[in-house]
């Protein structure tokens, strides 16, 4: 079964397709932007990568969300809830972690089926 890589770089690919499963790398928004702005940017990038892989948010299987501060949970969820409202909700986990730079407030990783 072939493996297809999207936006492959020397360190990582932004998406990897194996069979009918799409794995996305963690997506982050513009450093320093608000949690709302970063979450919107991340979800837009996720949609674009899923489309490039032949999928969409309607085929999400799992989402892992990392927040730099769990105090931002409600703010991130407000954006997430609006985004996922018209699609089947995936399995999801959210945790707090120190991200690659203190300017990142949210990182989202998803796995989806190809449709």
CATH number of the domain to which 79 belongs: 3.30.1330.40
How do residues 50-76 score in pLDDT, each as one tens digit? 999 999 999 999 999 999 999 999 999
Residues 11, 29: Cα–Cα separation, whole Å: 19
86 close to 57: Cβ distance less than 8 angstroms: no
**Domain limits at 73?**
3-113
pTM reported for the whole predicted model: 0.96
pLDDT at residue 1, as a whole number: 86
Phi, psi (5° rounding) for residue 103?
A: -75, -15
The torsion region of residue 43 among left (phi > 0), alpha (psi -120 to 50) and beta comes to alpha
Calculate mean pLDDT across residues 97-112. 97
pLDDT at residue 81, as a whole number: 98
Calculate mean pLDDT across residues 102-112. 97
64 close to 92: Cβ distance less than 8 angstroms: yes
Residues 41, 29: Cα–Cα separation, whole Å: 5
Q: How many domains does the chain have?
A: 1
């Amino acid at each position: 079964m072939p493996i297809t890589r999207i936006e492959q770089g020397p360190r990582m690919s932004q998406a990897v397709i194996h069979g009918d499963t799409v794995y996305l790398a963690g997506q982050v928004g513009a450093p320093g932007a608000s949690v709302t702005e970063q979450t919107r940017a991340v979800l837009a990038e996720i949609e674009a990568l899923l489309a490039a892989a032949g999928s969409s948010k309607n085929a999400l299987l799992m989402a892992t969300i990392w927040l730099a501060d769990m105090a931002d949970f409600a703010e991130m969820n407000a954006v997430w809830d609006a985004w996922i409202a018209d699609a089947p909700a995936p399995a999801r986990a959210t945790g707090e972690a120190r991200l690659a730079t203190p300017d990142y407030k949210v990182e989202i990783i998803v796995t989806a089926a190809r449709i």
